[in-house]
Amino acid sequence: MTFEKSSRTVDHTFDTIIIGSSPILLIEALYLEAQGCRVAIFEKGQLLGGAWYTKALWGYRTVEMGCHYIDRRERAYFFLKEFLGLELEPQARHVLWQDTGNDPGRYERTGTIRNGLRKLIEFMLMGRPMSRDFYDVLAATKEKDIKALGCSLRNLIIPQPYFYPVGGCKAMMEAFTNKINSTSITVLNNSGVESVTVPRNGKLCRCSVGGQRYFSREIVMGQHASARITVDGLALKQGTKPCNIHILFRIDGQKKLDFDYLDVARDDWLERVQDVTSYSRYQKESAGSEVLICCHLKEENVANIADPSEIFGYLIELGLLRENAKLLDSKIQVYASTSCIHNNELYKMEPVLNDSLRVMRTWDLGISIDYYYERWRSLIGAGE
């Protein structure tokens, strides 16, 4: 189920214009509409969801195009189940320690007992998967964060699983589709916002989209929106850079290491690796021995991806795939955007913008839902 750009005449004035369509922005759109606002969503892609979308690929009806997880937040899980009616299932999340040795400054005081113990621990962890909770204990100890250490120790002693929708992000976006289709929210796909003008004199904000101008009292955007922003005649400086680089592999073979979702610590290439096979719906009865693996690469490697087979070989080298695994095909997805959340000029101006422009936290679904939970809890009634 997809949204199509409306063929009817679209109004050009709204209470709120939302730029982008990540799940967090969609929830905000539904919240504002429930408050009686006239809301429009502008999405530059064909589908809503930002990076949370699937596409037909390699004979599969739906393939996850991103390496997704939902950070462990009980209120976020509760919200997704109650508001969207999603069925969630545990998702094992581990960490693979791969020390590339490219951080020469981390042992400034070489020879001390503490550094010697740290080196010994890292050597013992090399190339071995550990629970995310154990890794968090190590990280909190290193950062001397007492609060985080206590929380991590509690999770290590009494494991609390991570959860993910049973049908993957496909199920999530279908739930959003049903919600939005039952409202008066205007959805415009294939409509990237080129520029945003925000006055401070009480006039309406203006968005330029494909030669058309749209007006609203308020503009809401995620921190990765790429529109040019002008506030009271001052153009904010923003540099576009790669935000997420995903490579999806279609593999004939089997995993050597049993994992659902894997963070890769201290590595030059990989951030995360996810087995997305179970979230794909087949057009055929069986995919045989095929496995679909999605990798999230570090940002600085976007210019170095000449041959995805190198990354595939690295997965074998790390012991994630069996040595006889064969690469059948691959797909690279690069999301280039501007990180508005780090724009200091914008944040300095926010106190005087009078809610004309809001930048929402959209970097992690679990953390972000938990952050905005009190604002949105009316969508699920009394809440917990």
132-149: per-residue pLDDT in tens?
Answer: 888 888 888 877 888 888
pLDDT digits 0-9 by tens, 70-87: 988 999 999 999 999 999
pLDDT above 90 covers a percentage of the chain that reads: 39
Least confident range from 32-36, 65-69, 288-292, 300-304: namely: 300-304
Token pair belonging to 153:
């120790």
Question: Higher model confidence: residue 9 or residue 201?
Answer: 201
Query: What is the C-alpha to C-alpha distance for residues 34 and 378, in angstroms, rounded to an integer?
Result: 9
Residue 108 confidence (pLDDT) above 60? no
Give the highest mean pLDDT range of 115-119, 145-149, 207-211, 345-349: 207-211
Query: What is the C-alpha to C-alpha distance for residues 72 and 163, in angstroms, rounded to an integer?
Result: 7
In the chain, where the domains are located: 13-52+167-239+338-380, 60-166+242-336
- Contact between 23 and 49 under an 8 Å Cβ cutoff? The reply is yes
pLDDT value at residue 127: 72
Contacts 24+ apart (CB under 8 A), 347-351: 349/231, 349/232
Token pair belonging to 151:
């929380």
Q: Does domain 60-166+242-336 have CATH number 3.30.70?
A: no
Residue 239 confidence (pLDDT) above 80? no
Residue 100 confidence (pLDDT) above 90? no
Residue 4 confidence (pLDDT) above 50? no
Q: Is 290 exposed, middle or buried (0-12, 13-18, 19+ CB in 10 A)?
A: middle
Q: Output helix, strand, coil percentages for the chain, rounded to the nearest 5.
A: 30, 30, 40
pLDDT value at residue 184: 95
Q: Report the Cα 190 to chain-centroid distance in Å.
A: 20
Using alpha carbons, select from 296, 234, 312, 271 the residue that is nearest to residue 64: 296
pLDDT value at residue 158: 87
Architecture of domain 13-52+167-239+338-380: 3-Layer(bba) Sandwich (3.50)
What mean pLDDT value characterizes the chain?
83
- pLDDT-derived band at 229, boundaries 50, 70, 90: confident
Using alpha carbons, select from 199, 284, 186, 258 the residue that is nearest to residue 233: 199
Backbone angles phi, psi at 230, to 5 degrees: -125, 125
When pLDDT is averaged across residues 215-219 and rounded to a whole number, the result is: 93
pLDDT digits 0-9 by tens, 298-354: 877 666 666 889 899 999 999 999 999 999 999 988 776 555 555 566 666 666 666
Question: Higher model confidence: residue 304 or residue 46?
Answer: 46
- pLDDT-derived band at 151, boundaries 50, 70, 90: confident
Prediction pTM value: 0.86
When pLDDT is averaged across residues 256-273 and rounded to a whole number, the result is: 88
Backbone angles phi, psi at 115, to 5 degrees: -70, -35
- pLDDT-derived band at 199, boundaries 50, 70, 90: confident
Residue 382 confidence (pLDDT) above 80? no
Query: What is the C-alpha to C-alpha distance for residues 255 and 253, in angstroms, rounded to an integer?
Result: 7
Residue 261 confidence (pLDDT) above 60? yes
pLDDT value at residue 5: 38
pLDDT above 70 covers a percentage of the chain that reads: 79
- Contact between 148 and 140 under an 8 Å Cβ cutoff? The reply is yes
When pLDDT is averaged across residues 240-244 and rounded to a whole number, the result is: 62
